[in-house]
Amino acid sequence: MRKIAILIIFLTACSEAFSQEIIPISKTDLENKLIDNNLQVKMAKKEAELAKAELLGTRAMYLPNVNVSYTFSNTNNPLYAFGSKLNQERITMMDFNPDNLNNPKSISNFATKIEVQQPIINMDAVYQKKAGEVKAEVLNIKTERTKEYVQFELKKSYMMLQLAYKMLETLENAKQTTLANKKVIDNYYKNGMIQKSEVLYMDVRISEIESQIRTAKSNIRNASDYLYFLLDENSDNKILKPSENLEYTESIIDSDVKLNDSRKDLQAYQKSLEAYDWMIKSSKAKFLPRLNAFGSFEMYDNKVAQFNANGYLAGIQLSWNVFDGLKSKSEQEKYKAERSKAQAEIEQYSKQSQLELNKATRQIEDALSRVNFTKQAWEQSKEAYRIRKNRYDQGLEKSADLLSAETLMSQKELEYQQAVFEYSVAWEYQQFLKK
């Protein structure tokens, strides 16, 4: 039963492996897909679109407001009854009889009314529109910065995928080397030249490498899934494979990098102060006179769907809100306080950004040092393994020493690949911060 269970597990694993489609892809292909598909970019775009939609509401400052109504009423109230009949143009001498005026019969009234209100000058609305335009512009700038960040995240994730494949390749090579040594050790053991413990050491090393290989394959799947997430695509039974290898490319390091004031996130923060300025002006403008036109056209009758009487009303109104209980003054103080807070936050953010840029520069220098150190250690470990292998073949070294040399060589190669990855990510991050 145990053998059957192991066979079933093996066949299931093989089935899953064969069902997974390996898709080669380059960094350029990913970048071309990214901007249109990434969810974070989509959300930033939608936020900018929302600001534009809110801006459409400011059209009320120059477009008319038109309202149409059709009303039925029935009354015997002396005032309303006489007025309704007057609007219907049905007044006669009998209606001036005191008895008819004081005790009128109930009257039905059907009124059709078209009202138009036309803004002419409302400066507070003008300034609110300016603030809305600035907000929309700020969100567009933030969208561009979001694109830049997502592009950096894509490059980092692509390099993670490259590193995962490179580590898998290194471990597979180490496994082949260990298996080749194991054949020799097995022959030595069969001939009684070595003890069983040395064979067991080799078996443990192979199990260790196989465990690392499984972890490397999981890392490949994780990195591939994250790239699919960035692209907002389905990753079921699909694994990405980079068409380029992770290579070390040394670049000139600028150790005295200054923060770029025109960086898009800093531009957006500075631009947001302009929106506060317009809102402060809008609050102040509420004390300025407002000029608006109005008009209405009315039709009346005592029968439904009849329009035998009509009239109109038109005019211009100049209004001035002299005192509103200090409401507008409170708004001004609120916007001024928010602007001062935003100014302090911008200053803090700028200083933090310069610190982050300095930190990224030092990370590049540290990573470069690790690359050089691990490369040298790797070369030395390869040479040490070569010497021990030759001595082992001549019967001058123990298998445990050979195994230790092989393990160290594999470890140093993995450390070198990790150092190259860290250097490449640090370089890309600095470029992102410098934009």
R_g of the chain computed on alpha carbons: 40
Is the CB of residue 67 less than 8 Å from the CB of residue 115?
yes
Half-sphere exposure of 306 (CA within 13 A, CB side): 10
Q: Give the separation between CA 74 and CA 92, rounded to whole angstroms.
A: 20
Identity of the amino acid at 46:
K
Cα gap 125→33, rounded to integer Å: 42
Distances (CA, A) of 206 to 48, 72, 171, 183, 350: 56, 93, 10, 12, 52
Query: CA–CA separation, 162 vs 171, rounded Å?
Result: 14
The amino acid at residue 41 is: V
**Cα-Cα-Cα-Cα dihedral sign, residues 60, 63, 65, 68:** negative
Percent helix, strand and coil across the chain, each to the nearest 5: 70, 15, 15
Indicate the helix (H) or strand (E) that contains 102. Answer: helix 98-102
Which CATH superfamily groups domain 22-62+122-287+322-434? Answer: Outer membrane efflux proteins (OEP) (1.20.1600.10)
260's CB contacts (< 8 A; 6+ apart) are 266, 434, 435
* β-bridge pairing 107-121 and 21-25: unpaired
Assign 321 to helix, strand or coil.
coil
Which residues are bridge partners to 319 per DSSP? 290
Q: Which two tokens stand for residue 434?
A: 């410098």
Q: Please say whether the beta carbons of 26 and 155 come within 8 A.
A: no
Terminal alpha carbon distance of the chain: 63
DSSP-assigned letters across all residues of 210-233: HHHHHHHHHHHHHHHHHHHHHHT-
Amino acid at 174: A
Cα separation, 135 vs 129, whole angstroms: 10
- Cα 136-139-141 angle, rounded to 5 deg: 110
pLDDT given at position 211 = 93
How far is CA 369 from each of CA 108, 169, 362, 419, rounded to the nearest angstrom?
Answer: 95, 24, 11, 9
Q: What DSSP letter does each residue of 129-162 carry, written as one string?
A: HHHHHHHHHHHHHHHHHHHHHHHHHHHHHHHHHH
CB 295 within 8 A of CB 113: no
Q: Which residue has the tokens 């708004």?
A: 331
Strand partners, 298: 113, 311
d(CA 272, CA 91) in angstroms, rounded, equals: 64
Q: Are 125 and 119 in contact (CB under 8 A)?
A: yes
Asked if 6 and 118 count as a contact pair (C-beta separation under 8 A), the reply is no
Give the pLDDT of residue 254: 67
For residues 419 and 368, what is the distance between their CA atoms, to the nearest angstrom?
8
* CA nearest neighbour of 420 among 370, 351, 376, 380: 370
Residues with Cβ within 8 Å of 325's Cβ and at least 6 positions away in sequence, in order, are: none
Residue type, 394: Q
Task: Give mean pLDDT in consecutive 10-residue pieces for the chain, a chain of 435 residues.
Answer: 45 50 86 83 91 86 92 93 90 88 91 94 91 93 93 94 93 88 80 77 87 93 93 87 85 76 92 93 90 94 86 92 84 92 94 93 92 94 90 77 86 93 93 89
Could you tell me the residue ranges of all domains in the chain?
A: 22-62+122-287+322-434
User: How many CB atoms are closer than 10 A to CB 80?
Assistant: 15
Using the 8-state DSSP alphabet, how is residue 280 labeled? H
